[in-house]
Amino acid sequence: MHVLFVIDPLPQLKAYKDSSVAMMQALAARGHTLSVALQADLYIEAGVVRVRAMPIALVPGADLHEHAWWRESGPPVEAPLKDFGAVLMRKDPPFDMEYVYSTHLLGYAQEQGARVFNSGAAIRNHPEKLAITEFPDLVSPTLVTRDMERIKAFHAQHHDVIVKPLDGMGGTGIFRLRAEEPNRNAILETLTGNGTQTIMAQRYIPEIVKGDKRVLLIGGEPVPFCLARIPLAGETRGNLAAGGRGVAQPLSDSDRRIAETVAKRIAGRGLLLVGLDVIGDCLTEVNVTSPTCFVEITEQTGFNVADFFAQALERAVA
């Protein structure tokens, strides 16, 4: 099978810990061929969604801390997306209008016979923070609004809350408002752009000290291990990008219940890979653009997450 990755530029990837690279390795080990393309390489001509793709091969034994872990295996190819065995959309946020346009192109390509994972419509219809509101029984008390007075009332009710933008990643823009927060108004004015941008507020979950857990759903099945991203001392955010420490651990009964509940609800929506963020017993995000943590879980537990994904992809295409 020829697999196309729509991805960020390869030299920008930290290959030694990048989940997309782990996917490439697993797919190559199973005999599949690989090509890569950027968002800008997608286009429509004469009504057909096409791509300018670069065939690549992985360099055996390469140091993944260096850039020479891949090589071009042929000249660029221009072809309809439907000609590839599978198309994997692995472009990291920001989820801007160019990203939205890409999801539309991927959706049109699917109508023409392309096999896209996660599907364009699924990515577009599951904004990663807002998607949790579909599961009110699994989340901490949550408010989504641009109305600062409404957020202040929510804060007065719950005393200790987290506020965050809807389009952030890696922990950017997340603030904790304790009961007595002298900068509350300034924080809310900044996050909402003085009431012009919608944000999310959630009751603070104290179990964050034990980690913000990444639970992976692949082909509707939960990976049996999660990665608990434990915050630095004095830090509210567990994100690895914010300095959190990743510790792999078996799923708890609660983690599995959350994963199975979400999997059942989203079945049939074109989501082959989903990364759930769980703090304590609460779902906090549903990540569908480019979920990560494959490498950390594999290295610490021996469970080959990327091969598990490659097998799920083969089944989905078949």
Q: Which residues are the active-site residues?
A: 129, 164, 214, 229, 237, 277, 285, 287
Q: How far apart are CA 201 and CA 307, in angstroms?
A: 37
- CA–CA gap between residue 91 and residue 231 (Å, rounded): 26
Distance CA 189, CA 186 (A): 5
The two three-digit tokens of residue 223, written as one number: 């990976």
Element (H, E) at 264: helix 253-266
Six token digits for residue 184: 């509350």
Q: What's the rounded Cα separation, in Å, for the pair 52 and 13?
A: 20
**Matching residue, tokens 């099945």:** 221
Buried b (16+ CB within 10 A) or exposed e, 102-124: bbebbbbbbeeebbbbbbbbbbb
Cβ distance 286 to 128 under 8 Å?
yes
